[in-house]
Amino acid sequence: MPLSERDREELADDIIRDRRISMSTYCGSCGYNLKTLPRSYHCPECGSEYRARPPLMKGIYLPHENSPPFGEAIAVVVCVLGAGLLVVGAWNSKSTGYVATAAIFVAITLSIAVHVVVRTNRFLRTLRLGRQIARQEEDLE
């Protein structure tokens, strides 16, 4: 639906007052370009809520968050080795203190592993969205 002259002027006023997104900014769920939409709204493509007002951005594609969780993955490997040694030691010694320490270490290892899975999923989604956005921009050129 084409915008009327009045709608275009209101849109320009909103952009000048920083109420609307003035540059290409993409939905964090589907990659839709949110340019000219209000800074806090719902994506017209997928319906996800977003807020494009720094520093509290929400639901926005942020390419700088696109780093693989290598550090956390190494921490999980180290914790698994440490937890394994503690569990074997606790099994051999039957000491209550040893078992408690092993249990705490296993719990910490599991929580870090869950964090790595969440970060890996976020990384893969951001990677996929980045490719999709690049294809969309190529199509527009």
Given the rule CB under 5 A, which residues bind Zn ion?
27, 29-30, 32, 43, 45-46, 48
CA proximity to 123, closest of 79, 72, 78? 72
Residue 32 or 105: the one with the smaller Cβ distance to Zn ion is: 32
Residue 115 or 125: the one with the smaller Cβ distance to Zn ion is: 125
Shortest Å distance, C-beta 126 to Zn ion: 14
Shortest Å distance, C-beta 124 to Zn ion: 17
CA proximity to 128, closest of 30, 15, 35? 30
8-state DSSP, 3: P
Residue 109 or 126: the one with the smaller Cβ distance to Zn ion is: 126
140 phi and psi, to 5 degrees?
A: -75, -25
